[in-house]
Structure 1
Amino acid sequence: MSSPASRLIVPVLGFGLIVAFASSYYLLGVLAEPLAAGTGTTPSLVFAGLSGAFLISAGLSPFGGRWVDRRGGREVLTAASVVFALGLAGLGLSQGPVSVVAAILMLGVGMGVGFYGPAFAVLVAIHGEEAKKPITAVSLIGAFGGALGWPMTLAMIEWVGWRGACFGWAGLHLLVCLPLYLTLLPDGRAGPRPSAETGRVRWDGRMIRLAVLFAGAWWIATAMSALLPRLLGRLGLDPAEAAGAASLMAGAAVVVRLLSFLTSGKGSPIAVLRLATLLHPLGAAVAFFGGKSLAGAVALGQGAGNGLLSVASGVLPLHLFGKANYATRQALILTPARFLQAAAPLSYGVLLDRSAGLALLASSAVCVLMFAMTFGLERRS
């Protein structure tokens, strides 16, 4: 595909992911306080609703993968845009605890089917096993969902209030993302249908290893997203210093994805995966033993490692298993990660309450397990 429209597919998918992540996964980081104050509820209930949304997202993930393989990524992404918009509009109209939680759970439905999976599947349908570079490019653009999401939401709250921020994100889904998807993305239903045999995905040792690896990665990533400033505070930084050091995590994730894009096709994906699993323990060790002045190393290590792992979640299923049933297989591999993600802030917070050293030791031990899971992965005919 070399038409002008086809060259816009990667930017469109990347932009859609920025909006999806910023308006759901990262939304409540700055919206929870004014939302709770404006609806007579508490931030703790808001975040409990977010944990429920993560669980719904995990439960829907395999269904979303099968839906993509049957009908194509465009249909799933357009449906997700509508669901996100409904959840955000419901949040903007909410008047009490029940309506707040219901709207957040609706966002969980969108998260279950509207993140990286269908976007990567669109690229695999177009490029086949040559989709590594566009997958990396979309992952790179999507990383700005975290870097831009919080400041954009905060700016909208200051401009039009928290309800206006919810309606603003809903409008972006309906008025920008939805028309772009319908206009520029290929209709996956035009492709060949899988037979009953080729449509069945069976678990094997490689899928189990990847599932364990990415479950650990998502547990750490979610814990760091919620608790990194607090962790840095326990390492000796004051609140302003901790906030500044925590921002290094998003920057490192963007930089390594850019490097991965520029070097796409060079080196072994499994070797890169092994490196990614070791970056968090390396940063944790430097931060713990290096004292306050080097505390930001854990943010750099986590950001760089997670940036590479995010790319690997799209590339490795394609590299190891090929394009057949790609979306279903990727969704199955990542489903345990989605469930474990819901427990990450609470479980890591308990460890951090004991000591920063214990928390860093636990997350580093998980990374060692992830490193072990990289052995036994190889591509087969």
Structure 2
Amino acid sequence: MDIRSRLVAPVLGLGQIVAFASSYYLLGVLADPIAAELDIPSGWLFLALSAAFLVSAILTPAAGRWLERHGGRRMQGWAHVVFAAALLLLAAAPSPAVAVIAIVGLGVGMAIGLYSSAFAILVEIHGQGARPYITQVAMLGALGGALGWPTSRMLLQAFDWRLACVVWASAHLLVCLPLTVFLLPKRSPRPAEPEGARGRLRWDRRMIQIAALFAGGWVVATAMGAHLPRLLEGLGMTPARAAWAAGLMGASALAARLFDLLVLHRSHPVLTVRLASLFHPLGAAVAVFGGAKLAPLLAVGQGAGNGLLSTASGVLPLHVFGPERYAVRQAMILTPARYFQAVAPAAWALTIDASPLLALALSSLICLGVCALTFGLAPAGE
């Protein structure tokens, strides 16, 4: 393997760090100062982020088809351009309406630039052997929050929120885009196929099963990402300790992906999904029965589950169906999860207001359902 080939996973991983930090995790730090300057409730900005999730869900199937035709390298490059355009529009926003439009525009970048195109590039290069490289990229992507939040906070303290958006846009245009264009390989030409040979993929029982399990897993992941500190406070922790403990989720996710890379890489990815689905209920049970002292283990369990589930989202469809039409099939499978992801924060906000224990019971039951959905999945031909 030459040097250029060795750089593919790091380049894709860097792109995921910047993409997640400047979209999913951006408002966690910048929402309040943006709202204060534009004189609007910060809730409007998070509503715009939910709309961005919906845009991402709507565009995901078309993105998968476009990716199949043109290759992941081109889509990854366009994703950096779209992210940068939305961030620059947000930085220049003279009114709340323009800021909302810019945040919703991030959803276009999410549809084409978060994991899916990166994983497709790796499958184009490595085929059935792409698993360890997918895990490497997912492991680096886990740093999007761990590095994104403090970086945005540092930029905010040193300058202001507008310049922070400009810096993130510059990272897309001046760092990630050139690396994508010059270091990622072009897709090898495909042999000519009869017209209509690559028709519309149809849902089958295994695709429905995998789509349902990822929808359940992402609902819980998104809900916990939005409300974990509140849940920890509901278990008896002080706000300061809850904020610190919630930070364990990112470290745990990174450790879980490293475990998958070093230990689970030869196992069937169904095992990865089963472990991912059980970590949250285990952490929730320990936290509920152990009280405030053991409540941080909820963050550890959730982080471990998130870490393994992200890797599995790229590997399980590949292992069950093979590399043929991977991009389109993966987009179809993950689309329901993106829709559910958009409504999870609001739904869990209402549940937590009713009872933190009820919220944890609901999330744990969903995770156990995800585990049950892994049975009956096997690679084609088995």
Alpha-carbon distance, 1:279 to partner: 0.9
Alpha-carbon distance, 1:58 to partner: 0.5
Instruction: Provide, for residues 125-160 of structure 1, a one-character-per-residue CA deviation record: whole Å limited to 9, x for no partner.
Output: 100100011011111111100111111111111112
Paired position in structure 2 for 1:156: 155
The separation in 1 between residues aligned to 2:350 and 2:193, in whole angstroms, is: 46
Paired position in structure 2 for 1:60: 59
Paired position in structure 1 for 2:219: 219
**Contact kept in structure 2, 1:231 and 1:356, CA below 8 Å:** yes
Paired position in structure 2 for 1:328: 328
Paired position in structure 1 for 2:2: 3
**Unmatched tracts of structure 1, length 5 or more:** none
The separation in 2 between residues aligned to 1:318 and 1:151, in whole angstroms, is: 35
Aligned AA for 2:368?
V
The separation in 2 between residues aligned to 1:279 and 1:193, in whole angstroms, is: 46
**Contact kept in structure 1, 2:264 and 2:272, CA below 8 Å:** no
The separation in 2 between residues aligned to 1:269 and 1:257, in whole angstroms, is: 13
The separation in 2 between residues aligned to 1:194 and 1:150, in whole angstroms, is: 47
**Distance 1:334-1:28 versus aligned 2 partners, 3 A rule:** same
**Unmatched tracts of structure 2, length 5 or more:** none
The separation in 2 between residues aligned to 1:192 and 1:323, in whole angstroms, is: 16
Structure 1 segment 184-333 matched on structure 2, within 5 A: 184-188=183-187, 190-192=189-191, 196-333=196-333
Alpha-carbon distance, 1:264 to partner: 4.7
**Contact kept in structure 2, 1:198 and 1:324, CA below 8 Å:** no
Paired position in structure 2 for 1:340: 340
The separation in 1 between residues aligned to 2:148 and 2:377, in whole angstroms, is: 35
Paired position in structure 1 for 2:369: 369
Aligned AA for 1:242?
A
Aligned AA for 2:79?
A
The separation in 2 between residues aligned to 1:371 and 1:300, in whole angstroms, is: 19
Aligned AA for 1:38?
E
**Contact kept in structure 2, 1:140 and 1:254, CA below 8 Å:** yes
Instruction: Provide, for residues 62-83 of structure 1, a one-character-per-residue CA deviation record: whole Å limited to 9, x for no partner.
Output: 1111111110001101111110
Paired position in structure 1 for 2:131: 132
**Contact kept in structure 1, 2:73 and 2:180, CA below 8 Å:** yes
Instruction: Provide, for residues 239-263 of structure 1, a one-character-per-residue CA deviation record: whole Å limited to 9, x for no partner.
Output: 1110111011111100010111112
**Contact kept in structure 2, 1:64 and 1:113, CA below 8 Å:** yes
Alpha-carbon distance, 1:268 to partner: 2.4
Which stretch shifts more, 185-194 or 318-327?
A: 185-194
Aligned AA for 1:273?
V
Alpha-carbon distance, 1:199 to partner: 4.6
Could you state the TM-score of these two structures normalised by the residue count of structure 2? 0.97
The separation in 2 between residues aligned to 1:229 and 1:327, in whole angstroms, is: 35
Alpha-carbon distance, 1:193 to partner: 6.0
Paired position in structure 1 for 2:141: 142
Question: Number of residue pairs matched?
Answer: 380
The separation in 1 between residues aligned to 2:268 and 2:380, in whole angstroms, is: 15
The separation in 1 between residues aligned to 2:67 and 2:264, in whole angstroms, is: 25
Matched, 1:177 2:176: yes
**Contact kept in structure 2, 1:62 and 1:328, CA below 8 Å:** yes
